[in-house]
Structure 1
Amino acid sequence: MASLLQIQSDDSVLLRITHSNIKSFSPDVRFSLQMSVEAVKEKLWKKCGTSVNSMSVELYDDTGAKISDLTDNLQPLGFYSPLDGYRLHVIDLDPSSVTSGGWLEDTSLVEKYQISEEAYDKLDGTFRKFKEKLAHQNPSAHETKISDNYMEDLCSKIKVGDRCQVEPGEKRGVIKFVGRAETLAPGFWVGVQYDEPLGKHDGMVKGTRYFDCPPLHGALVRPDKVKVGDYPERDPFEEEEI
Protein backbone atom coordinates (compact mmCIF):
# COMPACT_ATOMS: atom_id res chain seq x y z
CA MET A 1 0.00 0.00 0.00
CA ALA A 2 2.87 2.36 0.87
CA SER A 3 4.44 1.75 -2.54
CA LEU A 4 1.22 2.69 -4.33
CA LEU A 5 0.91 5.87 -2.28
CA GLN A 6 4.48 6.79 -3.16
CA ILE A 7 3.82 6.40 -6.88
CA GLN A 8 0.78 8.66 -6.62
CA SER A 9 2.44 11.38 -4.52
CA ASP A 10 5.93 11.54 -6.05
CA ASP A 11 6.35 11.59 -9.82
CA SER A 12 10.06 10.90 -10.14
CA VAL A 13 13.27 9.99 -8.34
CA LEU A 14 16.95 10.82 -8.94
CA LEU A 15 19.14 7.72 -8.78
CA ARG A 16 22.89 7.19 -9.16
CA ILE A 17 23.85 4.54 -11.71
CA THR A 18 26.84 2.20 -11.45
CA HIS A 19 27.94 -0.60 -13.77
CA SER A 20 29.69 -3.91 -13.20
CA ASN A 21 32.09 -3.41 -16.14
CA ILE A 22 32.46 0.37 -16.44
CA LYS A 23 34.03 1.60 -13.21
CA SER A 24 34.04 5.28 -14.23
CA PHE A 25 30.32 5.19 -15.04
CA SER A 26 28.28 6.84 -12.24
CA PRO A 27 25.80 9.41 -13.62
CA ASP A 28 22.73 10.64 -11.77
CA VAL A 29 19.59 9.86 -13.78
CA ARG A 30 15.98 10.83 -13.09
CA PHE A 31 13.30 8.16 -13.50
CA SER A 32 9.53 8.29 -13.34
CA LEU A 33 8.22 6.06 -10.55
CA GLN A 34 5.49 4.90 -12.90
CA MET A 35 7.96 3.53 -15.44
CA SER A 36 8.01 -0.24 -15.64
CA VAL A 37 11.22 -2.04 -14.74
CA GLU A 38 11.53 -2.96 -18.42
CA ALA A 39 11.33 0.75 -19.36
CA VAL A 40 13.97 1.52 -16.74
CA LYS A 41 16.25 -1.09 -18.31
CA GLU A 42 15.62 0.40 -21.76
CA LYS A 43 16.72 3.80 -20.46
CA LEU A 44 19.79 2.26 -18.80
CA TRP A 45 20.67 0.50 -22.07
CA LYS A 46 20.78 3.89 -23.82
CA LYS A 47 23.04 5.19 -21.05
CA CYS A 48 25.58 2.37 -20.72
CA GLY A 49 25.26 0.04 -23.72
CA THR A 50 24.25 -3.15 -21.89
CA SER A 51 21.32 -4.81 -23.65
CA VAL A 52 18.06 -5.29 -21.77
CA ASN A 53 18.17 -9.08 -22.14
CA SER A 54 21.70 -9.22 -20.68
CA MET A 55 20.99 -6.82 -17.81
CA SER A 56 20.42 -7.52 -14.15
CA VAL A 57 19.58 -4.50 -11.96
CA GLU A 58 20.01 -4.15 -8.20
CA LEU A 59 18.71 -1.33 -5.97
CA TYR A 60 20.85 0.00 -3.08
CA ASP A 61 19.97 2.66 -0.51
CA ASP A 62 22.11 5.70 0.32
CA THR A 63 24.08 3.72 2.95
CA GLY A 64 25.12 1.07 0.42
CA ALA A 65 22.73 -1.59 1.69
CA LYS A 66 21.03 -3.69 -0.97
CA ILE A 67 17.27 -3.19 -1.07
CA SER A 68 16.16 -5.58 -3.80
CA ASP A 69 16.71 -7.06 -7.25
CA LEU A 70 14.53 -5.53 -9.98
CA THR A 71 13.48 -8.87 -11.43
CA ASP A 72 9.86 -8.23 -12.42
CA ASN A 73 9.89 -6.30 -15.70
CA LEU A 74 6.17 -5.54 -15.43
CA GLN A 75 6.28 -3.87 -12.03
CA PRO A 76 6.54 -0.05 -11.84
CA LEU A 77 9.79 1.29 -10.43
CA GLY A 78 7.86 2.79 -7.51
CA PHE A 79 6.93 -0.72 -6.34
CA TYR A 80 10.50 -1.04 -5.00
CA SER A 81 10.21 2.28 -3.07
CA PRO A 82 13.40 4.01 -4.31
CA LEU A 83 14.29 7.44 -2.91
CA ASP A 84 16.47 10.29 -4.19
CA GLY A 85 20.11 9.34 -3.70
CA TYR A 86 19.57 5.59 -3.97
CA ARG A 87 21.68 3.63 -6.46
CA LEU A 88 20.84 1.31 -9.35
CA HIS A 89 23.65 -1.14 -10.07
CA VAL A 90 23.69 -2.62 -13.60
CA ILE A 91 25.23 -6.08 -13.96
CA ASP A 92 26.15 -7.09 -17.51
CA LEU A 93 25.63 -10.85 -17.82
CA ASP A 94 26.96 -11.10 -21.39
CA PRO A 95 30.66 -12.16 -21.40
CA SER A 96 31.02 -10.89 -24.97
CA SER A 97 29.37 -7.53 -24.24
CA VAL A 98 30.85 -4.33 -25.65
CA THR A 99 31.27 -3.20 -22.02
CA SER A 100 33.43 -6.15 -20.97
CA GLY A 101 37.20 -6.16 -20.74
CA GLY A 102 37.55 -2.41 -20.23
CA TRP A 103 37.16 -1.58 -23.92
CA LEU A 104 35.02 1.50 -23.24
CA GLU A 105 37.46 2.93 -20.70
CA ASP A 106 41.00 1.91 -21.68
CA THR A 107 41.78 3.14 -25.19
CA SER A 108 45.18 1.42 -25.03
CA LEU A 109 43.33 -1.87 -25.57
CA VAL A 110 42.21 -0.75 -29.02
CA GLU A 111 44.58 -1.66 -31.82
CA LYS A 112 45.40 1.52 -33.70
CA TYR A 113 45.99 1.67 -37.44
CA GLN A 114 49.27 3.37 -38.34
CA ILE A 115 50.64 4.46 -41.69
CA SER A 116 54.17 5.55 -42.50
CA GLU A 117 54.91 9.16 -43.47
CA GLU A 118 56.19 7.94 -46.84
CA ALA A 119 52.99 6.01 -47.60
CA TYR A 120 50.81 8.91 -46.39
CA ASP A 121 52.62 11.37 -48.69
CA LYS A 122 51.78 9.14 -51.67
CA LEU A 123 48.03 9.24 -50.98
CA ASP A 124 45.74 11.65 -52.84
CA GLY A 125 42.88 13.55 -51.25
CA THR A 126 44.47 13.80 -47.79
CA PHE A 127 44.18 16.82 -45.52
CA ARG A 128 47.91 17.42 -45.89
CA LYS A 129 47.58 17.65 -49.68
CA PHE A 130 44.61 19.98 -49.26
CA LYS A 131 46.63 22.33 -47.00
CA GLU A 132 49.56 22.32 -49.43
CA LYS A 133 47.24 23.21 -52.31
CA LEU A 134 45.58 25.96 -50.27
CA ALA A 135 48.94 27.43 -49.28
CA HIS A 136 50.08 27.44 -52.91
CA GLN A 137 46.89 29.19 -54.10
CA ASN A 138 46.73 31.78 -51.29
CA PRO A 139 49.89 31.96 -49.16
CA SER A 140 48.71 34.93 -47.08
CA ALA A 141 45.51 33.17 -46.03
CA HIS A 142 47.43 30.05 -45.07
CA GLU A 143 49.72 32.04 -42.81
CA THR A 144 46.82 33.51 -40.81
CA LYS A 145 46.96 32.13 -37.28
CA ILE A 146 44.16 31.67 -34.78
CA SER A 147 44.62 33.85 -31.70
CA ASP A 148 45.11 32.26 -28.28
CA ASN A 149 42.12 34.36 -27.15
CA TYR A 150 39.85 33.23 -30.01
CA MET A 151 36.21 33.21 -28.78
CA GLU A 152 37.22 34.08 -25.21
CA ASP A 153 34.48 36.73 -25.10
CA LEU A 154 31.81 34.08 -25.78
CA CYS A 155 32.87 32.20 -22.64
CA SER A 156 32.01 35.05 -20.25
CA LYS A 157 28.53 33.62 -19.60
CA ILE A 158 29.45 29.92 -19.77
CA LYS A 159 30.29 28.31 -16.42
CA VAL A 160 31.10 24.78 -15.30
CA GLY A 161 27.90 23.17 -14.06
CA ASP A 162 25.58 25.07 -16.41
CA ARG A 163 23.00 23.09 -18.35
CA CYS A 164 23.38 23.60 -22.09
CA GLN A 165 22.33 22.70 -25.62
CA VAL A 166 24.89 22.13 -28.37
CA GLU A 167 24.36 22.66 -32.07
CA PRO A 168 24.01 21.11 -34.49
CA GLY A 169 21.59 18.46 -33.29
CA GLU A 170 20.19 20.15 -30.15
CA LYS A 171 22.28 17.83 -27.98
CA ARG A 172 21.77 18.52 -24.28
CA GLY A 173 24.15 18.17 -21.38
CA VAL A 174 26.15 19.94 -18.69
CA ILE A 175 29.25 22.15 -18.96
CA LYS A 176 32.33 20.37 -17.54
CA PHE A 177 35.22 22.52 -18.85
CA VAL A 178 35.82 26.06 -20.15
CA GLY A 179 39.23 27.23 -21.35
CA ARG A 180 42.12 26.61 -23.70
CA ALA A 181 42.86 23.05 -24.81
CA GLU A 182 46.56 22.51 -25.40
CA THR A 183 46.04 19.42 -27.55
CA LEU A 184 43.60 21.22 -29.88
CA ALA A 185 43.68 24.40 -31.98
CA PRO A 186 44.37 27.75 -30.25
CA GLY A 187 41.53 29.66 -28.65
CA PHE A 188 38.85 28.73 -26.14
CA TRP A 189 36.92 25.46 -25.97
CA VAL A 190 33.96 24.21 -23.97
CA GLY A 191 33.81 20.67 -22.58
CA VAL A 192 30.33 19.13 -22.46
CA GLN A 193 29.03 15.95 -20.90
CA TYR A 194 26.03 14.94 -23.02
CA ASP A 195 22.98 13.35 -21.38
CA GLU A 196 23.08 10.58 -23.98
CA PRO A 197 26.09 8.74 -25.53
CA LEU A 198 26.42 11.26 -28.39
CA GLY A 199 30.02 12.26 -27.72
CA LYS A 200 33.43 10.97 -28.77
CA HIS A 201 35.28 10.35 -25.50
CA ASP A 202 35.18 10.42 -21.70
CA GLY A 203 36.79 13.83 -21.26
CA MET A 204 40.27 12.77 -22.36
CA VAL A 205 41.47 14.13 -25.74
CA LYS A 206 44.78 13.18 -27.32
CA GLY A 207 46.22 11.99 -24.03
CA THR A 208 45.12 15.01 -21.95
CA ARG A 209 42.21 14.80 -19.52
CA TYR A 210 40.09 17.95 -19.50
CA PHE A 211 37.19 16.54 -17.44
CA ASP A 212 35.59 13.26 -16.38
CA CYS A 213 32.40 11.78 -17.79
CA PRO A 214 31.03 8.39 -18.90
CA PRO A 215 32.51 6.92 -22.12
CA LEU A 216 31.10 8.39 -25.36
CA HIS A 217 29.36 11.21 -23.45
CA GLY A 218 32.12 13.83 -23.79
CA ALA A 219 32.80 16.52 -26.39
CA LEU A 220 35.00 19.61 -26.75
CA VAL A 221 33.31 22.24 -28.93
CA ARG A 222 33.75 25.90 -29.73
CA PRO A 223 31.76 28.34 -27.53
CA ASP A 224 29.65 29.57 -30.46
CA LYS A 225 28.06 26.10 -30.68
CA VAL A 226 26.89 26.20 -27.03
CA LYS A 227 23.78 27.78 -25.51
CA VAL A 228 23.41 27.74 -21.73
CA GLY A 229 20.07 27.97 -19.97
CA ASP A 230 17.12 25.89 -18.83
CA TYR A 231 17.74 22.74 -20.88
CA PRO A 232 16.57 19.82 -18.69
CA GLU A 233 17.44 16.25 -19.59
CA ARG A 234 14.97 14.85 -22.09
CA ASP A 235 13.04 11.71 -21.19
CA PRO A 236 12.87 9.63 -24.40
CA PHE A 237 9.92 7.65 -23.09
CA GLU A 238 7.86 10.77 -22.47
CA GLU A 239 8.67 12.00 -25.98
CA GLU A 240 7.47 8.74 -27.47
CA GLU A 241 4.07 9.16 -25.79
CA ILE A 242 3.37 12.59 -27.31
Structure 2
Amino acid sequence: MEVTGVSAPTVTVCISSSLNTFRSEKQYSRSLTMAEFKCKLELLLYGVDDKFYSKLDQEDALLGSYPVDDGRRIHLIDHSGARLGEYEDVSWVEKYTISQEACDQRQDTVCFFLKRSKLGRYNEEERAQQEAEATQASSIPVGSRWEVWAAGHQGTIMYVGLTDFKPGYWIGVRYDEPLGKNDGSVNGKRYFECQAKYGAFVKPAVMTADYPKQHGAESQSLPKASLYGFT
Protein backbone atom coordinates (compact mmCIF):
# COMPACT_ATOMS: atom_id res chain seq x y z
CA MET A 1 0.00 0.00 0.00
CA GLU A 2 1.31 3.44 -0.89
CA VAL A 3 1.57 5.75 2.10
CA THR A 4 2.01 9.50 2.08
CA GLY A 5 2.96 12.02 4.74
CA VAL A 6 0.40 14.47 6.13
CA SER A 7 1.38 17.85 7.55
CA ALA A 8 -1.20 18.14 10.37
CA PRO A 9 0.44 16.80 13.58
CA THR A 10 -2.73 15.31 15.10
CA VAL A 11 -5.95 13.71 13.91
CA THR A 12 -9.34 13.27 15.62
CA VAL A 13 -11.01 9.91 14.98
CA CYS A 14 -13.92 7.87 16.31
CA ILE A 15 -12.87 4.66 18.08
CA SER A 16 -15.12 1.58 18.16
CA SER A 17 -14.40 -1.91 19.42
CA SER A 18 -15.52 -5.49 18.94
CA LEU A 19 -15.93 -5.73 22.74
CA ASN A 20 -18.55 -3.04 23.29
CA THR A 21 -21.36 -1.18 21.58
CA PHE A 22 -20.31 2.41 22.21
CA ARG A 23 -17.90 4.66 20.34
CA SER A 24 -15.58 7.40 21.56
CA GLU A 25 -13.87 10.32 19.89
CA LYS A 26 -10.09 10.52 20.41
CA GLN A 27 -7.23 12.68 19.19
CA TYR A 28 -3.88 11.10 18.32
CA SER A 29 -0.50 12.22 17.13
CA ARG A 30 0.22 11.17 13.55
CA SER A 31 3.80 10.37 14.60
CA LEU A 32 2.70 7.25 16.53
CA THR A 33 3.88 3.99 15.03
CA MET A 34 1.30 1.28 14.52
CA ALA A 35 3.12 -0.82 17.12
CA GLU A 36 2.64 1.95 19.66
CA PHE A 37 -0.91 2.59 18.55
CA LYS A 38 -2.48 -0.81 18.37
CA CYS A 39 -0.43 -3.02 20.74
CA LYS A 40 -2.43 -6.29 20.73
CA LEU A 41 -5.43 -4.98 18.80
CA GLU A 42 -6.14 -5.24 15.11
CA LEU A 43 -7.13 -1.85 13.68
CA LEU A 44 -9.55 -1.26 10.82
CA LEU A 45 -10.04 2.18 9.28
CA TYR A 46 -13.53 3.34 8.20
CA GLY A 47 -14.65 6.61 6.63
CA VAL A 48 -17.36 8.98 7.88
CA ASP A 49 -19.83 7.02 5.74
CA ASP A 50 -18.64 3.77 7.44
CA LYS A 51 -16.91 2.66 4.24
CA PHE A 52 -13.95 0.35 4.93
CA TYR A 53 -10.62 1.91 3.89
CA SER A 54 -7.73 -0.14 5.19
CA LYS A 55 -6.22 -2.37 7.82
CA LEU A 56 -3.68 -0.52 9.94
CA ASP A 57 -1.26 -3.42 9.99
CA GLN A 58 2.21 -2.03 9.24
CA GLU A 59 4.00 -2.02 12.58
CA ASP A 60 6.63 0.58 11.66
CA ALA A 61 4.32 2.90 9.70
CA LEU A 62 3.20 6.22 11.15
CA LEU A 63 -0.46 6.83 11.87
CA GLY A 64 -0.27 9.89 9.65
CA SER A 65 0.90 7.80 6.71
CA TYR A 66 -2.55 6.22 6.44
CA PRO A 67 -5.58 8.06 4.99
CA VAL A 68 -6.75 9.00 8.49
CA ASP A 69 -8.77 12.22 8.50
CA ASP A 70 -10.95 13.92 11.09
CA GLY A 71 -14.28 12.17 11.57
CA ARG A 72 -13.16 8.74 10.39
CA ARG A 73 -13.62 5.65 12.57
CA ILE A 74 -10.94 3.25 13.79
CA HIS A 75 -12.42 -0.11 14.80
CA LEU A 76 -10.56 -2.35 17.24
CA ILE A 77 -10.80 -6.14 16.99
CA ASP A 78 -9.82 -7.96 20.17
CA HIS A 79 -8.13 -11.36 19.94
CA SER A 80 -8.04 -12.16 23.65
CA GLY A 81 -11.19 -14.30 23.55
CA ALA A 82 -13.36 -11.80 25.44
CA ARG A 83 -17.00 -11.65 24.37
CA LEU A 84 -19.05 -8.68 23.16
CA GLY A 85 -20.34 -6.57 26.05
CA GLU A 86 -18.23 -8.38 28.66
CA TYR A 87 -16.87 -5.11 30.03
CA GLU A 88 -20.32 -3.47 30.01
CA ASP A 89 -22.20 -6.21 31.92
CA VAL A 90 -21.87 -5.29 35.61
CA SER A 91 -23.33 -8.66 36.65
CA TRP A 92 -19.88 -10.14 35.92
CA VAL A 93 -18.23 -7.76 38.39
CA GLU A 94 -17.52 -9.24 41.81
CA LYS A 95 -19.53 -7.34 44.41
CA TYR A 96 -18.22 -6.24 47.79
CA THR A 97 -20.46 -7.44 50.61
CA ILE A 98 -20.41 -6.75 54.34
CA SER A 99 -22.49 -8.19 57.16
CA GLN A 100 -24.97 -5.98 59.00
CA GLU A 101 -23.04 -6.52 62.23
CA ALA A 102 -19.78 -5.36 60.66
CA CYS A 103 -21.55 -2.43 59.02
CA ASP A 104 -22.96 -1.33 62.38
CA GLN A 105 -19.43 -1.13 63.79
CA ARG A 106 -18.19 1.29 61.13
CA GLN A 107 -18.47 5.06 61.39
CA ASP A 108 -17.99 5.92 57.71
CA THR A 109 -21.29 4.58 56.38
CA VAL A 110 -24.64 6.08 55.47
CA CYS A 111 -26.25 3.94 58.17
CA PHE A 112 -24.03 5.48 60.84
CA PHE A 113 -24.85 8.99 59.63
CA LEU A 114 -28.60 8.26 59.63
CA LYS A 115 -28.44 6.71 63.07
CA ARG A 116 -26.40 9.58 64.53
CA SER A 117 -28.72 12.15 62.95
CA LYS A 118 -31.86 10.16 63.82
CA LEU A 119 -33.05 10.19 60.23
CA GLY A 120 -35.06 7.72 58.18
CA ARG A 121 -35.74 4.41 59.93
CA TYR A 122 -33.67 5.58 62.91
CA ASN A 123 -36.11 8.40 63.69
CA GLU A 124 -38.36 6.67 66.23
CA GLU A 125 -40.84 9.54 66.41
CA GLU A 126 -41.23 9.62 62.64
CA ARG A 127 -41.59 5.84 62.49
CA ALA A 128 -44.30 5.95 65.14
CA GLN A 129 -46.16 8.61 63.15
CA GLN A 130 -45.88 6.55 59.98
CA GLU A 131 -47.19 3.45 61.72
CA ALA A 132 -50.09 5.41 63.21
CA GLU A 133 -50.90 6.89 59.82
CA ALA A 134 -50.85 3.44 58.20
CA THR A 135 -53.26 2.18 60.88
CA GLN A 136 -55.57 5.14 60.30
CA ALA A 137 -55.50 4.63 56.54
CA SER A 138 -56.38 0.94 56.89
CA SER A 139 -59.58 1.91 58.72
CA ILE A 140 -60.86 4.01 55.79
CA PRO A 141 -62.37 1.70 53.15
CA VAL A 142 -62.63 2.71 49.51
CA GLY A 143 -66.24 3.48 48.61
CA SER A 144 -67.21 4.79 52.05
CA ARG A 145 -68.55 8.28 52.74
CA TRP A 146 -66.47 10.80 54.72
CA GLU A 147 -66.19 14.48 55.45
CA VAL A 148 -62.95 16.45 55.27
CA TRP A 149 -62.89 18.23 58.60
CA ALA A 150 -60.78 21.31 57.76
CA ALA A 151 -62.60 21.99 54.50
CA GLY A 152 -66.11 20.92 55.52
CA HIS A 153 -66.63 19.04 52.24
CA GLN A 154 -68.31 15.65 51.92
CA GLY A 155 -67.37 12.98 49.44
CA THR A 156 -66.65 9.35 48.61
CA ILE A 157 -63.33 7.65 49.31
CA MET A 158 -61.76 6.60 46.00
CA TYR A 159 -58.15 5.82 46.93
CA VAL A 160 -56.20 4.82 50.06
CA GLY A 161 -52.44 4.34 50.05
CA LEU A 162 -49.01 5.72 49.21
CA THR A 163 -48.45 8.22 46.40
CA ASP A 164 -45.59 9.52 44.29
CA PHE A 165 -46.24 13.22 44.90
CA LYS A 166 -45.64 13.24 48.69
CA PRO A 167 -44.52 10.72 51.33
CA GLY A 168 -46.88 8.90 53.66
CA TYR A 169 -50.43 7.62 53.26
CA TRP A 170 -53.04 9.70 51.46
CA ILE A 171 -56.79 9.42 51.02
CA GLY A 172 -58.21 10.22 47.59
CA VAL A 173 -61.66 11.80 47.88
CA ARG A 174 -64.26 12.47 45.19
CA TYR A 175 -66.26 15.43 46.47
CA ASP A 176 -70.01 15.79 45.94
CA GLU A 177 -69.41 19.23 44.46
CA PRO A 178 -66.57 20.76 42.37
CA LEU A 179 -64.60 21.88 45.42
CA GLY A 180 -61.44 19.87 44.82
CA LYS A 181 -58.13 20.50 43.10
CA ASN A 182 -57.81 17.69 40.55
CA ASP A 183 -59.51 14.88 38.64
CA GLY A 184 -57.96 12.05 40.63
CA SER A 185 -54.51 12.48 39.08
CA VAL A 186 -51.44 14.37 40.34
CA ASN A 187 -48.33 15.19 38.29
CA GLY A 188 -49.55 13.03 35.42
CA LYS A 189 -50.22 9.89 37.49
CA ARG A 190 -53.82 8.77 37.94
CA TYR A 191 -54.97 7.36 41.27
CA PHE A 192 -58.73 7.35 40.66
CA GLU A 193 -61.33 8.63 38.19
CA CYS A 194 -63.52 11.68 38.72
CA GLN A 195 -64.46 14.94 37.03
CA ALA A 196 -62.08 17.89 37.09
CA LYS A 197 -62.18 19.87 40.38
CA TYR A 198 -64.01 17.03 42.15
CA GLY A 199 -60.87 15.23 43.37
CA ALA A 200 -58.63 15.87 46.37
CA PHE A 201 -56.10 14.06 48.55
CA VAL A 202 -56.16 14.38 52.35
CA LYS A 203 -54.16 12.89 55.19
CA PRO A 204 -55.93 10.05 57.03
CA ALA A 205 -55.99 11.44 60.57
CA VAL A 206 -59.49 10.39 61.68
CA MET A 207 -62.04 11.68 64.19
CA THR A 208 -65.71 10.84 64.71
CA ALA A 209 -68.32 13.50 63.86
CA ASP A 210 -71.79 13.99 62.38
CA TYR A 211 -72.68 15.79 59.19
CA PRO A 212 -75.96 16.22 57.29
CA LYS A 213 -76.88 14.01 54.39
CA GLN A 214 -76.09 15.40 50.98
CA HIS A 215 -79.63 16.55 50.17
CA GLY A 216 -81.48 16.70 53.46
CA ALA A 217 -81.52 18.04 56.97
CA GLU A 218 -81.57 14.61 58.59
CA SER A 219 -78.23 13.80 60.23
CA GLN A 220 -76.29 10.58 60.27
CA SER A 221 -73.26 9.56 62.29
CA LEU A 222 -70.28 9.32 59.95
CA PRO A 223 -66.51 9.71 60.39
CA LYS A 224 -64.66 12.87 59.54
CA ALA A 225 -61.15 13.07 58.03
CA SER A 226 -58.75 15.62 59.49
CA LEU A 227 -57.06 17.67 56.78
CA TYR A 228 -53.40 17.50 57.85
CA GLY A 229 -52.39 17.69 54.21
CA PHE A 230 -54.30 18.63 51.11
CA THR A 231 -53.62 18.48 47.40
- The TM-score range, normalised by the shorter chain, is 0.3 to 0.5
Which structure is richer in relative contact order (CA contacts within 8 A, separation 6 or more)?
Answer: 1
Larger Rg: 2
Instruction: State TM-score, norm by structure 1.
Output: 0.41
Q: Which of the two has greater strand per residue?
A: 2
More helix as a share of residues: 1
TM-score (norm 2): 0.43
